[in-house]
Amino acid sequence: MRIIGVGAVANRQEEVINGPKGLELVAVADTNEKALSRFARHLRVARTYNDYRAFLNNKRLETVAICVPHNLLQEIAIRAVEIEKHVVLEKRIASSVRETVPIIRGFSSSLGNFSKKMRSP
């Protein structure tokens, strides 16, 4: 698993991150260098990114927990589902219903594409 955003929400996820067997935190991303370094050091994560786009483009990435402020979440979540990543969102996904609609559409479209692939021989 990988995390985008290492602020308050991500810091509350440590128990979840360290809990399940088979779940390994392999990379984190944040634009705040100091917070990113501290978080990565604390959880012994070797790979860090300052740009979520480079982070998401890593082909080995399967699952991403997006722990960013609401004003950043929509863009990142939509991009992640567009490139077929498994996305974990722990908090409300937007500040308003209007902001929620594009995210839900992105997830719905992605789910449809996933379903088609599962049915293909």
14: CATH? 3.40.50.720
- Encode the chain in three state secondary structure: CEEECCCHHHHCCHHHHHCCCCCCCCEEECCCHHHHHHHHHHCCCCEEECCHHHHHCCCCCCEEEECCCHHHHHHHHHHHHHCCCEEECCCCCCCCHHHHHHHHHHHHHHHHHHHHHHHCC
> With a threshold of 0.75, does the pTM exceed it?
no
Is the per-residue pLDDT at 8 higher than 60?
Answer: no
- For residue 31, the model assigns a pLDDT of 92
- For residue 33, the model assigns a pLDDT of 93
Residue range of the domain that includes 103: 2-119
Is the per-residue pLDDT at 120 higher than 70?
Answer: no
Number of structural domains the chain divides into: 1
Identify which has the larger pLDDT, 9 or 57: 57
- For residue 17, the model assigns a pLDDT of 59
